[in-house]
Structure formats: structure tokens, C-alpha cells
Amino acid sequence: MSVLIKNGRIITATDDYSADILIDGETVSAIGKNLPMKADRTIDAKGKLVIPGGIDPHVHMELPFGGTVSSDDFKTGTIAAAFGGTTTIIDFAIQSKGMTMTQAHEAWIAKSEGKCAIDYGWHMAITKFENADRAEMKKLYDAGVTTFKIFLAYPNVLMIDQPTVYRVMKNAGELGGLTLVHAENGEAIEERIRILVSEGKNEPKYHAVSRPPIMQADGVARAVKVAEFAKAPVFIVHVSCESAMMEIVRSRDDGNPAYGETCTQYLFLDESYYDKPNFEGAKYVFTPPLVPKENIEPLWKGLKLGYLQEVSTDHCPFFFKGQKELGKETFTKIPNGGPGVEDRLSMTFHGAMQRSFSLNKFIDITSTASAKMFGMFPRKGTIAVGSDADIVIFDPEKERTISAKTHHMNCDYSLFEGWKIKGEPQTVLSRGKVIIEDGQYKGRPGEGKFIKRGECATA
Ligand code: URP
Ligand code: ZN
Ligand code: ZN
């Protein structure tokens, strides 16, 4: 099957020009003005932006967490992602207690099998690691799982101790891999939670009180310093506040390969959302929590200046009814996470245009930087001859209102309910096949492929 996309304005992280794109099978085979070739199908992209498919490198489909399971599985979650213009996700295979990394990897393969509508990869989330586990880490690396995640939060569940942090960073770094860190001071936070609960402070807003920015900044400061000590690259996930971001910047200014991301929700929402009545604050209980409003513009500035590399979602949805409600008695029982994979590209476009980002920068933070950072470039993250034809035809003028009534995520609420935004993915191609068109999903679950990732561009 061949597809010719005509008359579009092609935007990559570096270029902005008008041309036609010929797709032959799964990859781009020619780009040029007025291409004379015929194709099985021609799409007119006049007046639209033609952009690389979005990459969301931080999602949790079907994650057992907080006594329940996140509500999007690999089918519903990846279809929702496709509607939102995201054509590649990276999920986290989590090594539960008593499991080897290989068993965790196999468990995630099994639950995604035959379900994915778009391409996908795994980060390996490690909860136990001895130096003897290096061979297993190398096997995963060779299989295309080149990024390893550790938690400095969630004591007794996912948190690891400092010797393990050092071992993971050192071994991953020596193998050419990258360590991702959920960076908070989990132990001090746990003590604050205990005190709050003992004082009868159980409402959702105390989730934010229990883990304020200073504890995130502390976690990041420690993570980047241990990474420096281990001479290893490090990537801090879901940075939500300026002080944490500046710890990354300080380390990089000192010459260390320290990087980070933020998520859509932190770019728009602030801690006042926890004050919503009728337990609705629980919808915004994710970790790290929303923070004071004055952090929002610094995060945007950080993206513009390259302090942070990309925008992910940490998509980990739970229904308000029946799941978030598990924490009606106390915030400690509210499953942590929120929906977002479908809204990332459009919300980021909306916010970036309001702040005069270049279109190139918008592409960089939603696709290209992740492809490079996580070892998929130039197969993913750009539009070039030979790259996968993951392409979004994006209408930059389309005005719409975000709502759970119209989204495709398997969740009964939206973090951005009622937000009026400009910009919508209109047609989405995954490796040359049109999977979203005219507001319909045209693909088949299971067509998404595992992407064997390579070395991460952290130099
Ligand atoms: O609240 C969140 N972020 N849930 C998912 C797990 C994590 O910490 O990334
Ligand atoms: Zn996390
Ligand atoms: Zn996460």
C-alpha cells in the first residue's frame, strides 16, 4: 500500500517547509515538491500541519496500583493515544516483589499481546538489583529495553534503597542504558503522611500537603548526585515544580548527563484543584501532586530553554466512581494517577502556541526529543526518507472543548474538562496505515509493534 500526502506544511524539530510525502509500505520513501508519483491513496493536507507522530514515553496501561488496576488496557489506551496523535508509547514493566526483571518483562508482553493500536516499548522498573543481575539487565538491553526506572518514593511497594540506586545507575550506565528516576524523598514523606492521618487530615488536598515541592527537589538533588557519583546518565520523570527542575539544570551545568520531563497536567493545573467539593479533588491525586501556580510558567520556560527535554503524561487513569472512591475515608487510599494520553499533543500545542514556541520546538518536546533520548531516532520522531511513516495531519485552527463525554480514554472524567483549545489531530498514520480518520478509529488492535530501542542519546 502506498500513500501520497500532498500540499501539507511539514514540520520537524528542525524544518518547516511545504512538500509532498510518499509512503511506500511502512516507511517514508520520498519527500519533495509536486511529487509526480502515483499512490494507492492520496490525502490532501492543504492548510494543515504534517508532523511526526507523537511519542508519549511515560504511560501506565493496566497497571496494578493502589489496590486496583489502571482503567485503560493496552487496547483502549493505545486507541485513545492514536486519537490524540500519539503513535508510540513507552510503558513500564514493573518488577513486583519476588519477580525477576525477565518475569516482569514477560508479564507486560503477555498483557499487551494482540492489543496495541500503535507502536510501543518498555522501560524496566526495577525494585531489586544486585550486581549479579547485570547479565539479566544486559539481556533486556539487547532485547531493546534500554531504559531502567527506579523509585525513590512509595516505601514498601516500589522504593529502593540507596545502594540499589547506585548499582542500577552504574550498571545501566556502563551498558549504555539510561536510568529513569521517580524522585521524591519517600521516607520523609511517609512520616508526614503518618502525622497528617493521625491528626485526622484525610481529604484529598492532604496528598499535596504530604509531598510538597521541597521533597521533590530533595529527591532530584539526591538522584542527580548519585548518578554523578556512579558516572551514569539520569533522567528524572514527571517533574512538576521549578525547584526540582533547577536541580537537574544545576547538575547538567556541572557537566553531567542529567535530563528530565514534565507532564501535561503540571503545565496547566495547580494545587487549587484539590479544593474541589464532593471529593472531586481525588481526580487530581497523582504523584508528584499538583503544586502552587507559580511553578507553571517556569516549567514552560524550562521546556523552551531545554532545561527539560519533553512532555509526557504519566497516563495512569482510574475511574472516579469505584476507583478514586476507594480513598473516600483517607487520601492515602486514593489510587495515584490520572488520564492524559489522548490530550497531550493538543494541550501542549495549545499551551506552546500561547507562549510563542516555534512549531519546531513543539515537535521536539512532543516527539523528537523522546525518540532521541530513548533510543528510537531516526526511525521515530521525525519525517524523513527511511523513517517510519508515523504521521499526523494536524489542524492548527480547529477549536474544540475537551470533555470526558467525547474522549476515548477508559475513564469517567477528564483532567481538562471544559477547556477550550485550538488544534486537533485530524488524520493519523501509524507505519503508513491510516488509523484515525473522520473521527473514527480505522485500525486493528494488535497492529502496533514492539520497538526494539537502541542506545539513548544522552551525551
Ligand atoms: O501517580 C502516579 N504518577 N501514578 C503512576 C505511578 C508513578 O509514580 O509514575
Ligand atoms: Zn512515578
Ligand atoms: Zn509513572
pLDDT tens-digit map of 86-95: 999 999 999 9
Residue 277, C-beta contacts closer than 8 angstroms, at least 6 positions apart: none
Q: Does residue 141 sit within a domain?
A: yes
426 vs 83: CA distance, rounded Å? 8
Overall domain count for the chain: 1
Q: For ligand 1, atom 7, which residue shows the shortest CA distance?
A: 287
Q: How far is the CA of 304 from the centre of ligand 2 (A)?
A: 23
Query: Is 102 a domain residue?
Result: yes
Per-residue pLDDT of 39-49, as tens digits, reads: 999 999 999 99
| The pLDDT value given to residue 165 | 98
Amino acid identity for residue 180 in this structure: L
Using CB atoms within 10 Å of the CB of residue 41, give its burial: 0 to 12 exposed, 13 to 18 middle, 19+ buried.
Answer: exposed
- pLDDT of residue 12 exceeding 80, the answer is yes
The verdict on the CB of residue 149 being under 6 Å from ligand 1 is no
> Can you tell me the distance from the alpha carbon of 202 to that of 257, in angstroms, rounded to the nearest whole number?
40
Round to whole Å and give the CA distance between 343 and 403.
10
Give the Cα separation of 193 and 25 in Å (integer): 54
Per-residue pLDDT band for 275 (boundaries 50, 70, 90) equals very high
Which residue out of 59, 61, 65, 71 has the highest number of ligand 1 atoms within 8 Å of its CB and is therefore the one to mutate? 65
Residue 399 maps to a domain: no
Closest residue by Cα to atom 3, ligand 1, is: 287
Mean pLDDT, the chain, rounded, equals 98
Residue 350 has pLDDT above 90, yes or no: yes
Q: What is the pLDDT of residue 321?
A: 98
Cα–Cα distance, 291 to 271 (Å, whole number): 5
Return the pLDDT at 97: 87
- Tell me whether residue 73 is in a domain: yes
Ligand 1 pocket: which of 70, 264, 314 to mutate (most atoms within 8 A of CB): 314
Q: What is the pLDDT of residue 179?
A: 98
Radius of gyration of the chain (CA): 21
Asked if 338 contacts 347 with a C-beta cutoff of 8 angstroms, the reply is no
Nearest residue (by CA) to ligand 1, atom 5, is 337
Report whether pLDDT(325) > 90: yes
CATH no. for residue 319? Answer: 3.20.20.140
What distance in Å separates the CA atoms of residue 233 and residue 339, rounded to the nearest whole number? 29
Q: Residue 292 CB: number of other CB atoms within 10 A?
A: 14
Integer CA distances (angstroms), 186 to 11, 157, 251, in order: 41, 11, 21
- pLDDT tens per residue across span 286-308: 999 999 999 999 999 999 999 99
Question: For residue 299, what pLDDT is reported?
Answer: 99
- Segment 418-450, tens digit of pLDDT: 999 999 999 999 999 999 999 999 999 999 999
Q: Kindly indicate the confidence band of residue 374, based on its pLDDT and cuts at 50, 70 and 90.
A: very high
Residue 378 lies inside a defined structural domain of this protein: no
Q: Is 323 exposed, middle or buried (0-12, 13-18, 19+ CB in 10 A)?
A: buried
- The answer to whether residue 154 sits within a structural domain is yes
Q: What is the best residue among 56, 58, 59, 60 to mutate for testing ligand 1's pocket, by most ligand atoms within 8 Å of CB? A: 60
pLDDT at 459 over 90: no
For ligand 1, atom 9, name the residue with the nearest CA: 314
pTM: 0.98
Read off the pLDDT of residues 233-252 as tens digits, 9 standing for 90 and up. Answer: 999 999 999 999 999 999 99
- pLDDT tens track for 31-74: 999 999 999 999 999 999 999 999 999 999 999 999 999 999 99
Cell numbers describing residue 424: 486537533
> Does residue 355 sit within a domain?
yes
Tell me, in angstroms, the distance from the centre of ligand 1 to residue 314's CA.
6
* Domain with 90 in it: 52-373
Is 20 among the domain residues? no
